[in-house]
Structure 1
Amino acid sequence: MVDFNLKNQSPSFLRFIRRVLQAHWVTLLLFLVGIGLPLLAFQSLAVVVLQEQGGFAWDNAILLAIHTTATPLLDQIAKTVTKTGGFHGITLLTTFVGLILLVRKRWRSLLYLVLTLSGSGMLNRVAKTALHRVRPHLWEQLEPKLGFAFPSGHAMGSMTLVIALIILTWGTRWSWPVILGGSAFVVTIAWTRLYLGVHFPSDILAGWMAAIAWSIGVSLIIHPHLSRTNAVDEVEATPEELSHSN
């Protein structure tokens, strides 16, 4: 019969926990802040949207405030710029980045980019179908849109691409330019969707939260940053080499 002494086992268990936290605290923190909190925010928004299709009081207030700034020039700018955050625009940008990774044989990074962007698009379609939130109709829209609104595909796609690029360039000389330029891109795309009146602010926020959680979650599985220190063709690597790289 095994003599199990809880008092004697407790110190060993505590030492084990301490070692795990010391070795993986960054990953655990990233999981909590980068995945847990965004998912919690998305869930909070989704529950309200699902139960009350009207959404939030601040949705209409923000849209109407933005609409007061409308001018013919801004109309044309918004209609043009918003295309870069749509399916074709994001696909073109992703293809450009993917070709760079392909030429440099960064297979792990390329896999991460493809899975993250394609998965984001599929998740967005599923969420829109499941929550079936109608688009706002507060004024005559310049570009009437069909389909559901929550979460915003433009917001989710642009944020997914930017987060993926931040992760891929983290720790390099490109990281800050990507962070600053990417932030401006994401905010600009969000503004165009609100200015055109095709999304509520909560649609935008939900798209951002889903994109952040998804992009970071996939990165914790694939570890795309390993490609920077190991540019070996991973297709030809042995199972032993791949296990050591992880």
Structure 2
Amino acid sequence: MTRSTLPIWRRIEFTVLLAALTVGGGIWGFVELLEVARDKTAHSFDTRILLAFRTPGDPSDPIGPGWVEEAMRDLTALGSTAILLFIVVTVLLYLLLDGKRRAALFILLAVAGGQVLSSFLKLGVERPRPDLVSHMAEVYTLSFPSGHAMLSAVTYLTLGSLMAHILQRRTLKIYVLSVAVIATLLVGISRVYLGVHWPTDVLAGWCAGTAWAMLCWLIAHGLQSSRARPLD
């Protein structure tokens, strides 16, 4: 029996199926969290977690010593526009110097498209920032979804998944993806710790950003499987 005559569920690669399920799960999760964000009263899930990061009885004092608060400010900067732009430009220049112009173009379009999507989604829900605790960082926009969480997921996970697609060694693939996931998680956690986002804002950002990153990976995989091999 040739591959073309196999049942469709046997022809689909496990990684492709997993990526497709991740896209669907991310979209579903975002839609569910969207309903929570539209509620005028804070969800108990949000308030419990937000207060868990503060000293009992003093919502203005984050838990842990002073250096933890400073570390969280440093970590949250990993999701700032300036840092993400620097990382993307650095990767693009590396790919261009390595002769991978098509890969550079694809990554540019993928990350830029994700940032446009993030801006569009943020305009859809006018959810105010948490007023339950004091803010440990300056904020200027609406709360849902977390721009830092989504843009870090879009950037780190898109770069990580596409770079892993290019790399040959399995250990390097795992390393790159692990760094991307850890960076995304740390940025989101820092936003809740600093009191500038409800936890559901961050979860929504992760859902949307992960769905976008996996969608880009699926597109890259489909193109790479063709004879054109555009990521070389």
Match of 2:60 in 1: none
How far, CA to CA, are the matches of 1:90 and 1:191 in structure 2?
17
Q: Which amino acid aligns with 1:125?
A: S
Q: Secondary structure at the match of 2:67?
A: helix
* Stretch moving more, 120-129 or 212-221: 212-221
Q: What TM-score does the superposition give when structure 1 sets the normalisation length?
A: 0.77
Q: Which amino acid aligns with 1:181?
A: V
Alpha-carbon RMSD across the aligned residues, in angstroms, is 2.8
Taking a change above 3 Å as real, the CA distance of residues 224 and 71 of structure 1, as seen in their structure-2 partners, is farther
Taking a change above 3 Å as real, the CA distance of residues 145 and 27 of structure 1, as seen in their structure-2 partners, is same
Calculate percent identity across the aligned residue pairs: 26
Taking a change above 3 Å as real, the CA distance of residues 154 and 102 of structure 1, as seen in their structure-2 partners, is same
Deviation, 1:139, is 2.4
CA contact (8 A) 2:122 2:144 kept: yes
Q: What TM-score does the superposition give when structure 2 sets the normalisation length?
A: 0.82
Q: Which of the numbers 89, 103, 113 marks the counterpart of 2:107?
A: 113
Taking a change above 3 Å as real, the CA distance of residues 175 and 224 of structure 1, as seen in their structure-2 partners, is farther
Taking a change above 3 Å as real, the CA distance of residues 27 and 174 of structure 1, as seen in their structure-2 partners, is closer
* Stretch moving more, 63-72 or 165-174: 165-174
Query: Gapped runs of 5+ residues in structure 1?
Result: 1-15, 231-240
Instruction: Indicate whether 1:43 and 2:31 are aligned.
Output: yes
Q: Which amino acid aligns with 2:164?
A: T
Match of 1:242 in 2: 228
Q: Which of the numbers 201, 205, 208 marks the counterpart of 1:210?
A: 208
Q: Which amino acid aligns with 1:62?
A: I
Instruction: Indicate whether 1:57 and 2:44 are aligned.
Output: yes
Taking a change above 3 Å as real, the CA distance of residues 244 and 191 of structure 1, as seen in their structure-2 partners, is closer
CA contact (8 A) 2:161 2:213 kept: no
Deviations 1:126-166 (A, max 9, x none): 11111111111222222231211111111112122222213
Q: Secondary structure at the match of 1:125?
A: helix
How far, CA to CA, are the matches of 1:185 and 1:25 in structure 2?
28
Deviations 1:4-28 (A, max 9, x none): xxxxxxxxxxxx9954433335476
Match of 1:29 in 2: 17
Displaced runs of 4+ in structure 1, greater than 6 A?
A: none
Deviation, 1:47, is 2.0
Number of residue-to-residue matches in the alignment: 217
Q: Which amino acid aligns with 1:242?
A: A
CA contact (8 A) 2:161 2:217 kept: no
